[in-house]
Structure 1
Amino acid sequence: MTDGYLIVGLGNPGPEYELTRHNAGFLALDYLADQRGWPLNSEKWQGICGSGRLGAARIFLVKPQTYMNRSGDCVARFADFHRIEAGRILVIHDDLDLPAGKIKVAAKGGAGGHNGIRSLIQQLGSPDFVRLKIGIGRPPRNEDGQGIPIERYVLSAFSGDELELFNSRLPLIQEAAELFISQGVERCMSQINGRTAEQQRP
């Protein structure tokens, strides 16, 4: 196996999805790539990709262009080619079960109803990749307990306040990704997940 790392941002391709809640992973990866000077300027295996270095570590980045429910097709090919084991893959994605703006790192787990994560587990043959979860919250409900259907909610654009909150978390997301690479997942979880909501505020 290689000593490189693969950072994946999940989302859907196309301008109609660009600022939707389900594209939080794409947006976060774009930010990380821009901040680090790792241009996402090539296409391979149905993904937009780039690479760079963090210290001695070689970093590969990819945004699958296969639509969310087939994200694993692209990611598995990258991982196989570069011989990157699951524990060295960091997947950045939206999470309905976290409050909007909350950031959480998990070493492994199930799909939690997320189609992109389900596809990765199936195609990688392992749930042991690391997840950097970006909370988007669940749709609000009215007095009758009715709300926007989940599928419509995640494919809808961030509100102005939500986008402002998301953008304020981008430096924390970058910090989490770099901690994972430089100090490992346990240290990353301790540093990021241990912060209170107040401490996660900009």
Structure 2
Amino acid sequence: MKIIVGLGNFGDDYAYTFHNMGFLAVECLADRLGVKISKKQCDALVGETNVGGEKVIIAQPLTYMNLSGNAVKKLLDYYKATPKDLLVIYDDIDLDKASTRKRVKGSAGTHNGMRNIIATIKTEEFARLRIGVGRPPMGMPLADFVLSTIPKSERPAFAEAFEKTADDAELFIKGKLF
């Protein structure tokens, strides 16, 4: 059993914003695996598949970003999974744009959604993949930046980051990421 959660915000207004890196990355993975993320369950949209005999859940929380832990905890409980079965994919302002980083555990850093997940499931011991979005331009508030639309000129680089993240997620499913 593996649960892969992409963090983001729902609605057309947020569809291609920096804060939706997790949603966009799991959509890339779902497309690759032929999974439709459409079933409402555990405060999330969920898709299910099997990869090499491993049950895989791909989810996008329907909660506000800063309350993502509620959906993650419900998913872990419902599927009787543990944090070691969990991979969370999200944006990171401390990484260069379109770069990726994987970690087997760690703190939330500056990400409030991750902070809420860690507080709700009461551990930092779960895998995460971060996609860099860079820092806001001088004078632009952080919230405005992460909720701004990704410029069309930057989208090809992010598309590559989503493919790399999907590669890493597949390694996680197979137990080979770390």
TM-score range, shorter chain: over 0.9
1:93·1:132 contact (CA, 8 Å) conserved in 2?
yes
Cα-Cα RMSD: 1.1
SS at match of 1:51: strand
What's 1:151 paired with?
A: 143
How far is the alpha carbon of 1:125 from its aligned partner? 1.0
Rg bigger for which structure?
1
User: How many aligned residue pairs are there?
Assistant: 178
How far is the alpha carbon of 1:183 from its aligned partner? 3.2
SS at match of 2:174: helix
1:82 aligns with 2:79: yes
What's 1:23 paired with?
A: 20
Percent identity for Structure 1 against Structure 2:
38
Segments of 4+ moved more than 3 angstroms: none
What's 1:50 paired with?
A: 47
SS at match of 1:183: coil
How far is the alpha carbon of 1:67 from its aligned partner? 1.2
AA matched with 1:167: A
How far is the alpha carbon of 1:31 from its aligned partner? 1.2
TM-score, normalised by the number of residues in structure 2: 0.96
1:171 aligns with 2:163: yes
How far is the alpha carbon of 1:162 from its aligned partner? 2.0
How far is the alpha carbon of 1:18 from its aligned partner? 0.7
How far is the alpha carbon of 1:117 from its aligned partner? 0.3
How far is the alpha carbon of 1:169 from its aligned partner? 2.1
SS at match of 2:88: strand
CA displacement, residues 171-199 of structure 1 (integer Å, 9 cap, x when unaligned): 2111100111213342xxxxxxxxxxxxx
How far is the alpha carbon of 1:54 from its aligned partner? 1.1
How far is the alpha carbon of 1:137 from its aligned partner? 0.6
1:130·1:185 contact (CA, 8 Å) conserved in 2?
no
CA displacement, residues 97-141 of structure 1 (integer Å, 9 cap, x when unaligned): 110011110111111110110111011111111110001111233
AA matched with 1:138: R
Inter-partner Cα distance in structure 2 for 1:161 and 1:131: 27
- Unmatched 5+ stretches in structure 2: none
Inter-partner Cα distance in structure 1 for 2:18 and 2:156: 13
What's 2:110 paired with?
A: 113
What's 2:36 paired with?
A: 39
- Unmatched 5+ stretches in structure 1: 142-146, 187-202
Inter-partner Cα distance in structure 1 for 2:79 and 2:6: 17
What's 2:94 paired with?
A: 97
| 1:64 paired residue among 37, 61, 73 | 61
Inter-partner Cα distance in structure 2 for 1:41 and 1:158: 24
How far is the alpha carbon of 1:168 from its aligned partner? 2.1
Inter-partner Cα distance in structure 1 for 2:167 and 2:41: 27
Inter-partner Cα distance in structure 2 for 1:77 and 1:44: 9
Inter-partner Cα distance in structure 2 for 1:171 and 1:23: 15
